[in-house]
Amino acid sequence: MGEILGLGLSHHPGFLGKDENMADILRRNLERPDVPDDWKDRENWPEAMLKEYGHDGGTAAAALHREAFVRNVRKLRGAIDDFKPENWRGLPGGGWEPFATVMKRVLPDARFFDLEPSHPIFHSFFEIPETVVDDFPQAYNYGRPVFRGIYEDNDPQKRLMVMINYNTDVSQYWEWSGQGLRPIDDTNDAYKLGVNYLIYGLTH
């Protein structure tokens, strides 16, 4: 499982503050006695830094960064929702095909295999019974979860390179586990599945 499809998202806490405060870290550093004086002199700053800090202490640039962040979060959220069932929650788009199309760009020759409950990934550390795999508890999706994978050389006898959880969101259980929003047994099963994925990846 060396090949992972991931989505990155900033957790920068500065976006919680006001635009005029976004450059506070820079301003504090400029006041430190251990920072050389020539670094504090704006005439020695790179052109890009001067442009971004501007005459307003970086307020206008912060607004542009926030706008770009929000725009890309919405784009990322759209990509995530595209992996939900088609017309999930009445929204257009979604379904399996958009995901399969993108994966074909990454691995053009890849084939998708439905995983049986007997697959080693469901038994690499915790024993996840067939009844759970066939009807894995849903956090907020509807219908039956689908577990699929991509094998090395498209050979089911070789290692599983990509694990696909379609129409389910196992990590929602992890996210909400400390809030009591879902049953403890279902949350435990979700953790077991995540641990199994990790152990399988480390051992294969």
CA dist 146 and 169 (Å) reads 11
- What mean pLDDT comes out for the span 153-180? 84
CA dist 125 and 179 (Å) reads 26
pLDDT at residue 168 in the model: 79
Calculate the dihedral angle through the C-alpha atoms of 116, 117, 123, 124, rounding to the nearest 10 degrees. 30
pTM over 0.75: no
**Residues above pLDDT 90, as percent of the chain:** 44
With CA atoms as reference, report the closest residue to 14 among 59, 71, 46: 59
- What mean pLDDT comes out for the span 124-153? 85
